[in-house]
Amino acid sequence: MELTILRDIVIIFALSTFVNLIFTRLKVPTVVGYLITGIVAGPHLLALVHEEHNIEILADIGVILLLFTIGLEFSLKHLVRIRRIVFFGGLLQVSLTALVFYALSSLFEIDWKGSLFMGFLIALSSSALVLKLLQERSELTSNYGRTVLGILIFQDLLLVPLLLFTNLLGNPSVDIGNEMILLLVKTFVIIGLVYVGNRWLLPKLLHLIALAKNQELFTMSIFLICFAIALLTFKLGMSLAFGAFLAGLMISESEYSHNAFGNLIPFKDTFASFFFVSIGMLLNLAFVQENILLVAGAVLLVLVIKMLIASATGFVLGHTFRGIVLIGFALSQVGEFSFILAKVGFGYGILSEYNYQLFLAVTVITMAVTPFLMNVSRSVANWILRFNLPGYLVNGLFPLKEVEIPDFKNHLVIIGKDSSALKLSIMAKHYDMKHVSVVFDPTIAREKMNAGDNVVYGDAVNEPILLKAHVDSADVVVVSVGDIIPSMAIVDKVKKISPQAFVIARSPYVENVQQLFEIGADQVFPEKFEIAIDFFNRVLMKRLYPQKKINRMMAQIRSTNLGVFSEKDMVNQPSIIDEMPNVNISAITIETNSFAEGKTLGETDLRKKTGVTLLAVKRGDEMIEHPTLKTRFLAGDIAYVLGDPEQVNLASELFSV
């Protein structure tokens, strides 16, 4: 029995585990580890892997699952919204890149066919690599992430026309007219398939499958849909990966998309590793060693020119300078679909053996450095922004209109563009709570402005942005930013501007709680930790634990995990009221013409008639904290009383009509 493929898989997993363990400790992206695994195990170094074709099949599965999950996460509505980016931005980036590298290739005495072909090869970037990194960084739906995705989608759409173009260069006898008509027919078929599938077919199909309440059946069905649509689009001339992306888009609007996404995550990451390993296997180290200066120069040239052209595209699309830099760094590498074209072109003799090997070396190396480039892109942008750049370059060609923020006092400031911050803003608006949102995403900011919200667009790390939101007079500031470094910088700036403001900060992990408290946060919400606590709290309530015991257990868990910083989280601390589970503090509004209106506390005989204790009275912005028997109730006052539900109901009757 031949088990060569299993042996190869074991070798790849063993090497990947070892390399990734080291790289994780060094905080180097795991993608680089997979590429190095491929280089080591590939035919050009140790030649440990024998069934390269089978590994490529596993790699294809990995790319299919990766693009499928990205389609699930994105949705067809988002795709329609970025159609201008897809077609205009994508066409601009590809055309300029192909033109520049056509001219450069001509200088190296490559014939016009080879030069033009090389231009298009280098114009394509890596969807699998870049989208994986964006997904891991939760930046896929950010302003710059949408632009990167749109351009990558356009590049993927170009694969079929470029294959046709390659056949034309290599075989001039091809009937281009018939091929173009066939291509248009296939395009309309695919568009119709996506529309029908997204609107009617797949949501109903998934609903019927879900009614069976069989998770195994549901997972198998998701795999079937993913691979079937990928195969269908492949038969129509598109790539498998693009077909998988379309399959994800079809399911994205369904209520079952999140369940499908969760089921595929373990498989996606495992199979995607084979893709990056297979890319690493292509690198011929002997060729690189013999032509080290040429390869290094070519890599640097490709990275810099692609970076500048992609950045220019981002500028034309209206991005701020920071977005321009992020887009440039993200699209600076050569992509995996270029391998397909290069292989076909090499077979037709469009590329020589030498140029083919040079292209492979440049592509693998540019992909390997991409994670590092994307990691430093923000720092590079921030460093360049220190210089006196023109306003149109800093703010973009289409800056947002200036919104005059009312001169608020004692208001809420919400900093962040994640779902938590956006939902908090909706809640505050629903209950007419004065608030200002600080959003660093022009698309989201524009939507909120159009909805009539008070929005300041900009990076909250900058003091003028905070002052425009009147942080200096706010009583509560919520900082809901995912990355710990900008969160700390924002909290520090807020506290320097307004020491009296109560700052609530979101922390991704428990490990960051201490840092945020030390920098000045008054309350820290460790997101993942609090979600786990909330789950446990619901389990205890379902099992009918006494509320007093639940509160003590929650406090003990927080104390164990947060240490001394749990003492600062006073909201979550047990109090004397926890010892009296039926007693609560309630707020009751004194209505016009009610029994209590115009009377003093003594005249109402509140305690004797109802049993509640009056704790405080709020009148407008004034809080009467220690009411006496002579304190008079006025219409519109809010009385804070302590008592059980029955006592509070009796008090409500005195305060209402």
CATH number at residue 294: 1.20.1530.20
Give domain status of residue 396, yes or no. Answer: no
Which of residues 279 and 200 earns the better pLDDT score?
279
pLDDT-derived band of residue 76, with 50, 70 and 90 as boundaries? low
Give domain status of residue 401, yes or no. Answer: no
pLDDT in tens, 261-299: 777 777 777 777 888 888 888 888 899 999 999 999 999
The arithmetic mean of pLDDT across residues 108-132, rounded, is: 88
Give domain status of residue 397, yes or no. Answer: no
Rounded to 5 degrees, φ, ψ at 524 are: -120, 135
User: Which residues, listed in sequence order, are joined to residue 456 by a DSSP beta bridge?
Assistant: 438
The arithmetic mean of pLDDT across residues 314-343, rounded, is: 89
pLDDT above 80 for 160? no
Name every residue whose Cβ is closer than 8 Å to that of residue 552 and which is 6 or more positions away in sequence: 574, 578
The arithmetic mean of pLDDT across residues 300-315, rounded, is: 95
pLDDT above 60 for 573? no
pLDDT above 70 for 176? no
pLDDT above 70 for 574? no
Give domain status of residue 391, yes or no. Answer: no
The C-alpha angle 587, 589, 590, rounded to 5 degrees, equals 135
The arithmetic mean of pLDDT across residues 442-468, rounded, is: 85
The arithmetic mean of pLDDT across residues 341-367, rounded, is: 89
Domain finish residue from 545, 561, 578: 578
Domain finish residue from 524, 554, 578: 578
Q: How crowded is residue 54: how many other Cβ atoms within 10 Å of its Cβ?
A: 16
The arithmetic mean of pLDDT across residues 590-619, rounded, is: 90
pLDDT in tens, 208-240: 888 888 888 888 888 898 889 888 888 877 778
Which of residues 486 and 179 earns the better pLDDT score?
486
pLDDT above 70 for 551? yes
pLDDT above 60 for 411? yes
pLDDT-derived band of residue 2, with 50, 70 and 90 as boundaries? low
Using CB atoms within 10 A of its CB, is residue 628 exposed (0-12), middle (13-18) or buried (19+)? Answer: exposed
Which pLDDT score, from 0 to 100, does residue 561 have?
A: 67
Round to whole Å and give the CA distance between 455 and 626.
38
User: Which residues, listed in sequence order, are joined to residue 642 by a DSSP beta bridge?
Assistant: 585, 613
pLDDT above 70 for 566? no
Ranked by mean pLDDT, which of 132-136, 181-185, 554-558 comes out on top?
132-136
51 φ/ψ sector (left φ>0, alpha ψ -120 to 50, else beta): beta
Rounded to 5 degrees, φ, ψ at 544 are: 65, 35
Please indicate, yes or no, whether residues 371 and 430 belong to a single structural domain of this protein.
no
Tell me 85's DSSP state: I
pLDDT above 50 for 452? yes
Which pLDDT score, from 0 to 100, does residue 309 have?
A: 96
Please indicate, yes or no, whether residues 307 and 441 belong to a single structural domain of this protein.
no
Please indicate, yes or no, whether residues 349 and 425 belong to a single structural domain of this protein.
no
Which pLDDT score, from 0 to 100, does residue 582 have?
A: 62
Written as six digits, the tokens of 492 are 């520090």
pLDDT in tens, 107-117: 887 888 889 99
Please indicate, yes or no, whether residues 496 and 563 belong to a single structural domain of this protein.
yes
Round to whole Å and give the CA distance between 49 and 16.
13
- Range with the poorest average pLDDT among 28-42, 360-374, 464-478: 28-42
Residues 62 and 275: beta-carbon distance below 8 Å: yes
Please indicate, yes or no, whether residues 595 and 559 belong to a single structural domain of this protein.
no
Which of residues 564 and 20 earns the better pLDDT score?
20
Round to whole Å and give the CA distance between 551 and 655.
32
Which pLDDT score, from 0 to 100, does residue 568 have?
A: 52
Please indicate, yes or no, whether residues 519 and 591 belong to a single structural domain of this protein.
no
Residues 421 and 444: beta-carbon distance below 8 Å: no
- Range with the poorest average pLDDT among 137-141, 336-340, 517-521, 523-527: 137-141
Please indicate, yes or no, whether residues 51 and 177 belong to a single structural domain of this protein.
yes
Written as six digits, the tokens of 482 are 């995912």
- Which residue type occupies 426? I
Round to whole Å and give the CA distance between 128 and 414.
35
pLDDT above 50 for 1? no
Residue with tokens 């949501």: 203
Kindly report the CATH number assigned to the domain that includes residue 550: 3.40.50.720
Which pLDDT score, from 0 to 100, does residue 300 have?
A: 96
Which pLDDT score, from 0 to 100, does residue 402 have?
A: 63
Please indicate, yes or no, whether residues 564 and 619 belong to a single structural domain of this protein.
no
pLDDT above 60 for 563? no
pLDDT above 50 for 571? no
Round to whole Å and give the CA distance between 452 and 435.
12
- Mean pLDDT score of the chain, rounded to an integer? 83
The arithmetic mean of pLDDT across residues 409-415, rounded, is: 91
Please indicate, yes or no, whether residues 379 and 286 belong to a single structural domain of this protein.
yes
Which pLDDT score, from 0 to 100, does residue 545 have?
A: 79
User: Which residues, listed in sequence order, are joined to residue 277 by a DSSP beta bridge?
Assistant: none
The arithmetic mean of pLDDT across residues 501-505, rounded, is: 91
Which pLDDT score, from 0 to 100, does residue 570 have?
A: 43
Written as six digits, the tokens of 221 are 């069905």
Which pLDDT score, from 0 to 100, does residue 75 have?
A: 66
pLDDT above 70 for 124? yes
Which pLDDT score, from 0 to 100, does residue 187 have?
A: 73
Give domain status of residue 596, yes or no. Answer: yes
Give domain status of residue 51, yes or no. Answer: yes
Please indicate, yes or no, whether residues 551 and 617 belong to a single structural domain of this protein.
no
The arithmetic mean of pLDDT across residues 136-160, rounded, is: 82
Please indicate, yes or no, whether residues 74 and 215 belong to a single structural domain of this protein.
yes
Cα 199 to Cα 159, 192, 249: the distances in Å are: 27, 11, 11
pLDDT-derived band of residue 579, with 50, 70 and 90 as boundaries? low
Residue with tokens 């939902």: 423
Round to whole Å and give the CA distance between 209 and 254.
13
Residues 192 and 215: beta-carbon distance below 8 Å: no
Cα 358 to Cα 116, 331, 630: the distances in Å are: 16, 20, 91
pLDDT above 80 for 58? no
Give domain status of residue 590, yes or no. Answer: yes
In terms of residue numbers, what domain contains 596? 582-655
Kindly report the CATH number assigned to the domain that includes residue 603: 3.30.70.1450
Tell me 613's DSSP state: E
The arithmetic mean of pLDDT across residues 438-445, rounded, is: 83
Give domain status of residue 167, yes or no. Answer: yes
Name the strand (E) or helix (H) holding 476.
strand 476-479
The arithmetic mean of pLDDT across residues 410-436, rounded, is: 89
Report, in angstroms and rounded to the nearest whole number, the Rg of the chain calculated over CA atoms.
31
Number of domains in the chain: 3
Residue with tokens 């900060």: 505
Please indicate, yes or no, whether residues 235 and 349 belong to a single structural domain of this protein.
yes
Name which of 222, 149, 142, 232 is nearest 186 in CA terms.
232
pLDDT in tens, 528-544: 777 788 888 888 887 87
- Which residue type occupies 506? R
pLDDT-derived band of residue 562, with 50, 70 and 90 as boundaries? low
Ranked by mean pLDDT, which of 162-176, 270-284, 361-375 comes out on top?
361-375
